[in-house]
Chain A
Amino acid sequence: MKKLLAYLLPFILFTNISYAIIEIDITEGNREPLPLAISEFFHDNNPEIIDKKITENIRTVISDDLERSGLFSSIDDKAFIQNNRAMHLKPRFADWRLIKAQGLLTGELTIEDDRLRVEFRLWDTFAEKEIEGLVLITTIDNWRRISHMIADKIYERLTGEEGYFDTRIVYVAEEGPKNKRIKKLAIMDQDGANHKFLTSGKELVLTPRFNPVRQEITYLSYFKNLPRVYLLNIQTGIQEVVGDFPGMTFAPRFSPDGGKIIMSLAREGNSDLYVMDLTNRVVERLTDSPAIDTSPSYSPDGKKITFNSDRGGSQQIYVMDSNGRNQKRISKQGGNYATPVWSPRGDLIAFTKFYQGQYFIGVMRTDGSGERLLTENWYQEAPSWSSNGRVLIFYRETKANDAGDGHSSSIWSIDLTGFNERKIITPVDASDPSWSKLIQ
């Protein structure tokens, strides 16, 4: 009941005053999506724009991005009363209010010197004014990224938070029977477009993670049957092993400045945490316990590290200073905890919890208080944050029958509020997702 009130209260307060300028409080959770009218962008019958269906495509990408966030709904354009170029200069706001659009997006496309010029305006139909507008110029084939950037601008203007649509997801694509699974690194835009495999499947690969500042991925590869942490440059395709360690290195993750990799090293049956500086290749040992220490993740300011350890007899979440000092357990609600990841906003740690035979994805504050479980399932793990810290992606597996059939693995997303759970469509089975920052 208390929880329900917490969700309702801000909603009640905000509905009274929200007429001035449309705004969304994204901490509310399960609220009605805000209806937006997203019109096709006008142009002077340019044959290339018509041929490549650019105007329809831009509308679809923007509208899909915003709808997937769960915060907006896109009004069917068949309901539009006004549909002429004049609306990009001055919409007939009453017409748009009549079809219940609270916001209206209009735009114009031109091609000049083989460059696509995209101009858009976002209108508040109740306040009757333009609240956002921008001109973006790009190569013609770059219309998709421009669409994501426009969706980000709209999201940002209406929620007050940074958008997360111009981003990518790297993950492990899975094929074949469970006991002979073929795994490849794959990358795609956040909406599933531009899908590409990055490795051939010859070697087993696991747990890819984006560098927050460079076009680079760190991951685990079983190349030559020696499981080690690798680096992959996405642009050049060049792969290299990270360091020269006397045992398996695994569970890698970049520091927030992208200059270091923190990971586990297993030696003679014991796993501890190490960090390697990528510029001078200096390695520092951070933990020294006879227990398993793994799944490390830095706080966004780089001063703290959260990790997983079974030193107390069961898997729990710990926090320490980035030099390894002041190691302290923070998880305390019962059950086993794993895969802690620090939110890019710094205030929360997302985790996997195993409790009474079920797996949960949840969040807690960095001192372990305020634990909130977002989703429960037979098997799910490995949350990764959206760049703005509002959404989590993770992977989920289905149970196989006794013959071993019926097993599948897929990536899902869920809002931090615990609402808007969605499956992310991939060409084959998928696991170990990692979400990039906004593309620079």
Chain B
Amino acid sequence: MVSTFQNYTRYLVIILFALFLAACETVPKDTATSSTSSTSSTSSTSTAAVEILDGVYVGSDTVEMLAVDVPDRIFFAYDSYSITKAAQNTLEKQAKWLKANGSVTIAIEGHADERGTREYNLALGDRRANAAKDYLMTQGISSSRVTTISFGKERPVNSGSNKKAWAQNRRSVTVRTN
């Protein structure tokens, strides 16, 4: 029983690997022919593997800029509010920009993905927004310039029900309030 299961998983690994190779193969082809509709779907599946690291979105699809080279959002792992290295980097850029623009005030919106109950996700969004705010404060930004608001799972940026969409939705977004 155990051995058949192992065999099965081994086959599965091989199949998955083959699929992965196939997917990789198609990317250069698509870009070479610069076809229209098929390009987007194939490239999104092949790049999904590298856009999420340890459950945290590391791509740039949804990210907007507060100023040149100042991204507006950071991403979180599932049910987590830890500030990753990449998030620290983004928040440090935000802090620098806020220092250079002393009159700017901001709101940090905390969001969760759809895989959690509504009320818990409201609390989780609040945790994420405050984790980002706390980090900005350690960078010397006064708490009086920063408000927080949780939207729980109510305002996804990606409406899909897949791992990439969820990773893009687990975020806190800094928005100007003046």
Q: Which residues of A contact B (CB under 8 A)?
A: 177-179, 181, 183, 204, 206-207, 220, 225-227, 247-248, 250-251, 264, 266, 268-271, 292, 294-295, 308, 310, 315, 338-339, 352, 354, 379, 381-382, 397, 399-405, 407, 431-432
Contact = CB atoms under 8 A, between A and B. Distances in A.
Contact of A206 (B120, B154, B162): B154
Contacts of B122: 206, 220, 227, 248, 250-251, 264, 266, 294
Contacts of A250: 119, 122-123
Contact of A269 (B134, B157, B159): B134
A382 B161 contact: no
A412 to B, nearest CB: 16
Nearest to A339: B117
- The 7 A-B pairs at the shortest CB distance, nearest first, are namely A404-B159, A269-B130, A178-B159, A271-B123, A338-B117, A266-B126, A292-B123
Contact of B120 (A177, A315, A405): A315
B117 A178 contact: no
B160 interface: yes
A420 B131 CA distance: 45
A179 B81 contact: no
Nearest to B134: A269
A225 B175 CA distance: 13
A407 B117 CA distance: 17
A204 B154 contact: yes
B118 to A, nearest CB: 6
Nearest to A250: B122
A286 to B, nearest CB: 15
B127 interface: yes
A76 B43 CA distance: 59
A328 B3 CA distance: 43
Contacts of B156: 178-179
A123 to B, nearest CB: 47
B149 A225 contact: yes
A271 B129 CA distance: 13
20 contacts: A178-B159, A206-B122, A206-B152, A220-B122, A248-B150, A264-B123, A294-B122, A308-B119, A315-B120, A339-B117, A339-B119, A379-B114, A381-B118, A397-B114, A399-B161, A401-B160, A401-B161, A403-B160, A404-B165, A431-B118
Interface in B51-106: 79, 81
B136 to A, nearest CB: 13
Contact of B127 (A227, A292, A381, A405): A292
A432 B118 contact: yes
Contacts of B167: none
B175 to A, nearest CB: 11
A177 B126 CA distance: 24
A308 B161 contact: no
Contacts of A271: 123, 126
B120 A338 contact: yes
Nearest to A308: B120
Interface string B140-178: 000000000110101111111110010000000000000
B149 A266 contact: no
B117 to A, nearest CB: 4
A100 to B, nearest CB: 45
Contact of A179 (B119, B126, B131, B157): B157
A250 B134 CA distance: 22
Contacts of B131: 269
Contacts of A179: 155-159
A269 B149 contact: no
Contacts of B114: 379, 397
A206 B154 CA distance: 10
Contact of B159 (A227, A315, A352, A407): A407
A295 B119 contact: yes
Nearest to A431: B118
A294 B126 CA distance: 13
A266 B123 contact: yes
Contacts of B123: 250, 264, 266, 271, 292, 294
Contacts of A352: 117
Interface in B107-126: 114-120, 122-124, 126
A379 B153 CA distance: 13
B126 A269 contact: yes
Contact of B158 (A206, A207, A295, A404): A404
A92 B140 CA distance: 89
A251 B126 contact: no
B118 A206 contact: yes
A180 to B, nearest CB: 8
A207 B119 contact: yes
Contacts of A248: 122, 126, 149-150
Contacts of A247: 126
A94 B90 CA distance: 83
Contacts of B150: 227, 248, 266
Contacts of A338: 116-117, 119-120
A339 B120 CA distance: 9
A227 B158 contact: no
A269 B117 contact: no
Contacts of B129: 269
Nearest to B127: A269
Given A250-B119, A266-B122, A271-B123, 18 more contacts: A179-B155, A179-B156, A179-B157, A179-B158, A206-B154, A225-B149, A248-B150, A250-B123, A266-B150, A271-B126, A295-B119, A310-B79, A381-B118, A400-B165, A403-B159, A404-B158, A404-B159, A431-B118
A422 B57 CA distance: 38
Contact of B117 (A177, A266, A295, A399): A295
